Each structure stands twice: as C-alpha cells, then as structure tokens.
Amino acid sequence: MNRDQPSPRAIVQTLHNLRTVLPPATLLPSVMRLTGLADSYIPLETPVGTVFVAWNVRGITAVMRRDDVGNFTADYLRQFQRQAIAADATTANALRPALEATVRGERKAPLPFDLHKLTEFEQAVLRKALEIPRGQVRPYGWIAREIGRPGAVRAVGSALKHNPIPLLIPCHRVVLSDGQLGQYAMGGTNIKRALLEVEGAEPETLETLAQQHVQFYGSDTTNVFCFPTCRHARRVTLQHRVTFGSVREAVASGYRPCKVCRPA
C-alpha cells in the first residue's frame, strides 16, 4: 500500500469527525432562500402598528399586519407555501429606510414587487393603484376604466381585497363608487380611515361628501371638475367651488374633466 495515501481507518475516522462539525448558522437559511424554499422578512413600524414585510429575489411578496411573529410566519407559510425567515441585521438595516420612506410618501422610485403569480388583470389593478398619489383617493370604477376594463368594477374590488402587499401598494386609497370608504383587507374601515388621515386625505370630509351625494368638485373659473382630493380641486376657493353628484351632471353643466385626476 502507498504510504502517501491515508489508510481506510483514517478515512473512516475523518468522515466520523465531519459528523460532529456544525455548519454555520446562516447556511441553512441562505440555502433555503436560494432554492426558493424560504423568503426573508423584517418587522416594520407603521402608523397602524407593526407589520411584517417579506421578500425574495424577485421583490416584496407580502405585507401582513399580525399580532406576533408566530402568527405571521404561520399565515405566510399557509398562503405562500414557503417559510419566512427573519433577515439578518445588516439586510434589515439596509432595507428598512426604503420601506419607511415609501410609507411616508417620500420615496420616488418604486420598490420591486413580486407579483408574478397573480393574473395579468390583478397585476394591472395593483399597478394602477400605485399611481394614486398620497393624500388622494379614487373609486373602483376609476381603476377599471383606467386599465381598459370599465365593466369589471367588482373584479377590481376582488383584486384589491386580495392584494398581498397592502400599504406599500396603496389599496387603502381606493374607495366605493359613491365615495364611501369601504372595507380594507388589512384591518377594516377604521384602519383605512387612519391611513388616509395620516396621508392628509381627510376621510371625515370624504364620508360627509358621500352622504351628501357629492362626487366631484368643479371650478366656476376654469369649468373643470375633479375628484375632491385632487390637488387641483383643493386649490379652488369655496366661493368658486361647484359640486356635482355625477359625471353626467358635470358635463351637462358645461364642465370638462380634469386632465390630472381624470374623473371621466
């Protein structure tokens, strides 16, 4: 036998020793993420409490408002069939400022989202919701019309109800066709109202207008009508403001739709 080669006993002993060597603590989570078996997450403080933000290599996959980590990870596994593993401190500290800036409306560049498992229609609805400015609202029918599906108002509502990334994709800025706030999948109407209040959309005023059947503001100096939260509508002084209950009423009165908020 070649003396330069290890003996069979030495090989067996080496293999035995390998069994006692523990891999780095970060190895398994990293492998699971790379193989698509797990995603990362961090907790994020928001105006409506703690939410958990999860992501993978494609982008952000979910935002969930849960009482604790256990409930979040269990619900995430059930919904996505993948585990959610806490991100390391370095990654969390790098991502958190971008998320916080988005919630505050200070980030201009959109975050990457993983929507590839949604239908084309659902993706179109969510991407259109991203276009609604902070502090403003639009009705479901506006999104349906904007994406070229004016008759699909109920389907738009269903897509928003199942939005996996609420708050960051602001479905809370979409209201009922009559102006009422409507429900919100991440916690109901009260949470929706709180978010709109923080953003400056004045939800109490919106609810009052809905009760008065007012859907649009017009300016008698420009003969343009807008959604009440449009930045142009807010510039109209009270003495020059005209209210309308429908597009038909506004058009019949000689007003034309705003080119910014596109009410019709």
* Active-site residue list: 171
Q: Which single residue is written with the structure tokens 């916080």?
A: 100
Going by DSSP bridges, is the β-strand pair 224-226/256-257 parallel, antiparallel, or unpaired? parallel
Which whole-number Å values give the CA distances from 181 to 58, 190, 197, in the listed order? 32, 10, 12
Question: Two tokens at 248?
Answer: 């038909």
